[in-house]
Chain A
Amino acid sequence: MDILFFDIYYLFNLIILYYVLFVDFYYVSLFLLSLKQVKHYMRRTSHKVYKDLNRSHLTPPVSLLIPAYNEEKTIVSNLLSALLVEYPEYEVIVINDGSTDATLEELIESYSLHEVNVPIRYQIPTEEIRGVYRSLQYPQLIVLDKENGGKADALNAGVNASNFPYICSVDADSLLDRDALLKTTQPFIEGEDDIVACGGIIRVANGTTVEDGRVVSVGLPKNPLAIHQVIEYLRSFLMGRLGFSGINSLLIISGAFGIFRKREIIEIGGYDTTTVGEDMEIIIRLQKYLYDKKSKAKVIFLPNPICWTEAPSSLKVLGRQRIRWHQGLFQALWKHKKTMFNPKYKHMGLIAMPYFFLVELIGPTVELVGTILMLVGLYFDIVNVPFAILFILATFVFGMFLSMSAVLLEEMTFRKYTRVRDFFKLMLFSMIESFWYRQLNAIWRTMAFFRIRPNRKARKGAWGGMERKGLSQENT
């Protein structure tokens, strides 16, 4: 019996060992891909003159869609950043998804809104729209007030109400850089390829100085949890998404900031209101649709158009957010499981989908199980101690390498954190991340599995509960 237990234990450890090596190989490949992409991007953009786009007749008009639910604290100030972007022709559509607080009243009061009679084309079915408002101060601002139906439903209502051929989803708690829209539409206009969707980078706004809806200086937040998220966002965007974009297998454009060609969004039926990870699901569906149509159109990611977002600074809110994200990831992968390892979907089916399944979805749980097994083995003295220490050390070292690589990519390109003090902080937090933050994330993500019902629809009208402090609050 003991021998059997020992054999099983040994086998299990071996599987985990090879799994870790496999994951590390994936990460190194992604890093190299991202490095190549970053160099390519910097070359192409170093000589770009964005002001040309502002006067080009080819620059398409864009509808910015901002879904909002109980955003009374931040909506007024954050909306200003969307209303002041540099772009020749655009409209801003705020969709109040049946907020139970004073979001609508705040908007009416602050932006002099008046109810108007506007016929809406219901190209995608949504909950009922109760009213449409326009602003006296900002001609480009439209506010929809609708029955609660969730973020995806709100976005679909925005698509229906939009007047322009391109839509851009922006979170209500996010701030756009002035030139973010121009930079993101640039590949649609100038690029050689046919682009259907393009995402920009999301950066953590905690620690920045915000004036009139604009980030005027960048610094690191004081809250350690927020600093960890700064590194995490850099790694996720500059390494993950940029790498996948390079092999045309991008499976996620953050809901906080992404531009889409409306035609395709309507053709695929809009955002899925039954999942919590609607931003990932729609991209997988869009990519699948393009492969099925044998279209050469692409979904891309650009590392420079910046959208700033408020990161959770308490464990409770962060945990809730991560559990929700992981549930969304599971639902999206489950819904499109037929694309997994399917050669018909080329890189997407053979590389990106397996990555999200093997690394992103089950990775944290495997890591957690591996750690527990290691401790059990040490307790029962059935593990080779030097080997265990070496393995843990190697895992930590590699984790640090990944985080520092993300900082490297940042330093090679945009260098938003200019102070040497911030650089030291980033490096320090890259190192200590492996000692607690990673494990915490693994616990939250594993907890997400216990709350998942793959075929059950998302609770109607569900929004991720994020307690806003307001960007200016965090900085003081």
Chain B
Amino acid sequence: MVITVYFILFFAIFFSLVIIGLFFYLLTKKIMLRNRAKKMQDFHAKVYPLVIRYITTGYDRPVFLISSSAKWQRQVIKEIAIQIAGVINSEKEIERLNIVIEDFGVVKEVETMLKDKRWWIVSAGVNEATELHLKQFVPIIKQHLYTEEYDLRRSVVRALCEMGESIEVLNYMVIHENELPHKVIVHIGDMLVSTGSDDPTLIDYIVQHFHQVSPELQGVFLEIIGKRKAMNQLPLLTTLLRREEKEIRLKAMRAIGDIGMILEPEAIFDFLFSSSWEERVLAIYVIQSCKLEQAIPELVNHSIQDKNWWVRVRAAETLYAFGEKGRKELKDVADTHEDIFAKDIANKVLQEKHLRGS
């Protein structure tokens, strides 16, 4: 019992001290943070118009503001610079922006961040270098492409894509595809599609390496071809519709649909009768985006009463998208079709579209 009493006494004293310590720590931190936020706010209000004026007009370089190299001041300048960098385009403005951030030591700070040992600091540095268009750091950023840390690798890929180095990323994928997990390949592909710059050599690189890479990577390549609407690759896409791997056929169909043009419509019509519902849905997608009105009879007589819900919906939506003719057919389906599911789906699409006024 005595031991328990002492234990509880120790317990109470220990946690009391922790509470007191915690209270003062939190209070001090709170006050410091508030003061810092206030200083930053004031500095922001003072600097913002001056920086904007200099960057847009070139007058009054705001060097006189650099009284010290306090971190919080750099932080404010960095925030303003990132904000401005997102909306300026001209070479002159970018050059002046670089002068400002150089003056305030922001460039040096980003460089230090990129060389840090902690991956999350490097990752933040990579993002800032990207936002501020600091292309001089591309070589350092490239080195981090081989990091173990998944999140950092994502930041680096994004940065390289944004900075016009998509080829470097593609090259990395081609060389290391066997070591890269599926999810990483998918994500890199997504970034190449959504954030890549309009580098014309990208498609050439893809075509050149297409047959050397795995079907998984070919899928990524096809997505890029589609999203970039590389019309000159339609012959390649058409031949891929006959490939054995279903995934490749699906990706090729999606790419054709994304481009919105087709060389052999009959090849697509065949997929309306495929045993795979994904192929049937994508065939309808191609029919709609390439405006293949000659497929209306197949859509009405076959696809709209498909056993798969998604096929039925897409068929009805496609019919509606075909203007007067398609809408009339869809209305007939809604009124007279013998299949109750076809009628239901036709009604649903007609009502929804009517409601939208589209």
Contact = CB atoms under 8 A, between A and B. Distances in A.
B71 interface: no
Contact of B34 (A192, A386, A400, A420): A420
Contacts of B345: 119
Contact-residue size bin, chain B (C-beta under 8 Å from the other chain): 35 or more
B12 A394 contact: yes
Contact of A56 (B31, B190, B223): B190
Contact of A139 (B26, B193, B344, B356): B356
Interface stretch (B58-66, B150-158, B260-268): B150-158
A17 B191 CA distance: 57
Given A121-B309, A408-B22, A58 B187 contact: yes
Contacts of A117: 344, 347-348, 351
A134 to B, nearest CB: 6
Contacts of A397: 11-12, 15-16, 19
Contact of B183 (A192, A386, A398): A192
Nearest to B344: A119
Given A46-B124, A387-B5, A418-B34, A190 B352 contact: no
A302 to B, nearest CB: 15
Given A58-B190, A117-B344, A192 B15 contact: no
B8 A407 contact: no
A397 B187 CA distance: 49
B33 interface: yes
Interface string A24-54: 0000000000000000000110110100100
A49 B86 CA distance: 14
B23 interface: yes
A47 B120 contact: yes
Contacts of B18: 401
Interface string B1-44: 10011001101100110110011001101110110010000000
B341 interface: yes
Given A393-B12, A400-B19, A401-B19, A190 B26 contact: no
A116 B348 contact: yes
A274 to B, nearest CB: 29
Which of A55, A119, A384, A427 is the most central at the interface, judged by chain B CB atoms within 10 Å of its CB? A119
Contacts of B195: 52, 55
Contacts of B154: 190
Contacts of A192: 150, 183
A299 interface: no
B255 to A, nearest CB: 13
Contacts of A118: 348, 351-352
A43 B116 CA distance: 14
A416 interface: no
B186 interface: yes
Please classify the interface of chain A as helix (H, G, I), strand (E, B), loop, or mixed, using the class held by over half of its residues: helix
A294 to B, nearest CB: 20
B11 A398 contact: yes
A423 interface: yes
Contact of B193 (A57, A386, A393, A401): A57
A267 B106 CA distance: 53
A390 B5 CA distance: 8
B355 interface: yes
Contacts of A384: 1
Contacts of B355: 114, 116, 134, 136
Given A17-B4, A58-B190, A114-B355, A47 B31 contact: no
A250 interface: no
Nearest to A163: B313
Nearest to A403: B19
B34 A49 contact: no
Contact of B26 (A43, A136, A394, A423): A423
A423 B127 contact: no
A405 interface: yes
A401 B30 contact: no
Contact of A55 (B8, B150, B155, B194): B194
B352 A134 contact: yes
Contact of B22 (A43, A116, A139, A404): A404
A52 B9 CA distance: 54
B30 A420 contact: yes
Nearest to B128: A47
B309 A52 contact: no
Contacts of A114: 355
Nearest to B348: A118
A411 interface: yes
Contact of B29 (A44, A55, A386, A411): A411
B303 interface: no
A391 interface: yes
Contact of A46 (B37, B120, B158): B120
Contacts of B16: 397
Contacts of A423: 26-27, 30
B115 to A, nearest CB: 16
B63 to A, nearest CB: 30
Contacts of B356: 136, 139
Nearest to A51: B86
Contacts of A420: 27, 30-31, 34
B123 A390 contact: no
Nearest to B227: A57
A337 interface: no
A118 B351 CA distance: 9
A393 B22 CA distance: 18
Given A119-B341, A394-B12, A423-B30, A57 B190 contact: yes
Nearest to B123: A47
Contacts of A44: 120, 151
Contacts of A404: 19, 22-23, 26
B23 A391 contact: no
Interface in A362-407: 384, 386-387, 390-391, 393-394, 397-398, 400-401, 404-405, 407
Which of A117, A121, A405 is the most central at the interface, judged by chain B CB atoms within 10 Å of its CB? A117
Given A47-B123, A47-B124, A136-B356, 15 more contacts: A43-B120, A49-B158, A58-B187, A116-B351, A121-B309, A190-B151, A390-B5, A390-B9, A391-B8, A393-B12, A394-B8, A407-B26, A418-B37, A420-B31, A423-B30
6 contacts: A57-B194, A134-B351, A386-B5, A387-B5, A401-B15, A401-B22
Interface of B: 1, 4-5, 8-9, 11-12, 15-16, 18-19, 22-23, 26-27, 29-31, 33-34, 37, 120, 123-124, 126-127, 150-151, 154-155, 158, 183, 186-187, 190-191, 193-195, 223, 309, 341, 344-345, 347-348, 351-352, 355-356
The 9 closest A-B pairs by CB, nearest first: A47-B124, A394-B12, A119-B344, A116-B351, A43-B120, A47-B123, A117-B347, A401-B15, A397-B15
